[in-house]
A and B are shown apart, each in its own frame.
Chain A
């Protein structure tokens, strides 16, 4: 599986807005490049990124070739309750990656 780095605060106050940062290693081949022989290099990108908080979808992104390699996506969410924040990436050629982090909400 691709290397993933997620940054979720370990602890937060109920109702506090937290920032979640995610990084995943992926070449994000745009499909617009050509090799030295002029042959088009086929597209190979991550196309979707979904975040679930205790099973409920809180963030969904559709990524296009214009997203830089090793995609970095950061967003905000309200710390509602303790539990698991899960991340799923899907892309071309059956690419799939998942990760999760636990958060304690006081």
Chain B
């Protein structure tokens, strides 16, 4: 091949590669705010009843455990959450609705589970709970429930911006063996059915929630891992910063929708 031809081919192939890369991260327009609804609206009447009735909602069993943990002295400091935070109904109201929040010391956003563990380590001198452990789920369910009914209100913190953008990029990126992006299902095809279930818009309004598929309460990270596995993509480890930036974006995307913790979902 002549030098000129070779150069031309190089230019063309680079342009094509560039286009390909750009196509893989197509940033879609945001869903119109008025069009958004929680996954609650997609539930069957029986599941809605299960979520609405505190006497029938299995998630309340974890909230009950969380209340016990809130009041229990723990750690080397022998201190209960209640000693600093007093009545959770007042002090924790609205908290879950504005997480993930920026942690100045760590220089990055943290989600509610990380915040609880940071408190345990710093203020109670207790060992942090493992992700997805019964205790961490119980405490985050208890704290989350205190925000039930509150509209999701992510903080307008400039420091969160790069992480929000990272989350948005994750949501739009094609990944995994199926080369799917979150956006393709949850922005473009919500309301339609995938196997037996209705595809939700993917607003994390009720986490941690009781998923019928798990027959247990689980966190948003567990659900995101399920999504990644379902897409045949490699799931990040529990506690990975990718989950926090994605959660930050999802919460921003769901701003204004009320918290439903502990929700029930299929």
A binding-site residues for B, Cβ under 8 Å: 3-5, 7, 21, 23-25, 27-28, 68-70, 72, 74
B binding-site residues for A, Cβ under 8 Å: 53, 55-56, 58, 60-62, 64-65, 215-216
Closest Cβ–Cβ distance, residue A50 to chain B (whole Å): 19
From known contacts A68-B215, A69-B215, A69-B216, infer whether A23 and B65 are also in contact, taking CB-CB under 8 Å.
no
Q: Contacts of A24 on B, CB cut-off 8 Å?
A: 61
18 A-B contacts (beta carbon < 8 Å): A3-B62, A3-B64, A5-B55, A5-B61, A5-B64, A21-B53, A21-B55, A23-B55, A23-B56, A23-B58, A25-B58, A25-B61, A68-B215, A69-B58, A69-B215, A70-B61, A70-B216, A74-B56
Q: Are B60 and A23 in contact (CB under 8 A)?
A: yes
Chain B binding site: helix, strand, loop or mixed by DSSP?
A: mixed
Closest to B210 in A: A70
Q: Are B55 and A70 in contact (CB under 8 A)?
A: no
| A74 to B216 Cα, complex, angstroms | 20
| A96 to B215 Cα, complex, angstroms | 21
| A75 to B62 Cα, complex, angstroms | 23
Closest Cβ–Cβ distance, residue A68 to chain B (whole Å): 7
What 8 A-B pairs come out closest when comparing CB atoms? A7-B55, A69-B215, A21-B55, A70-B58, A25-B61, A3-B61, A3-B64, A3-B65
From known contacts A3-B65, A7-B55, infer whether A70 and B215 are also in contact, taking CB-CB under 8 Å.
yes
Q: Contacts of B65 on A, CB cut-off 8 Å?
A: 3
| A23 to B60 Cα, complex, angstroms | 9
| A42 to B216 Cα, complex, angstroms | 19
| A69 to B211 Cα, complex, angstroms | 11
Q: Contacts of B215 on A, CB cut-off 8 Å?
A: 27-28, 68-70
Closest Cβ–Cβ distance, residue A72 to chain B (whole Å): 6
Q: Are B60 and A5 in contact (CB under 8 A)?
A: yes
Q: Are A21 and B56 in contact (CB under 8 A)?
A: yes
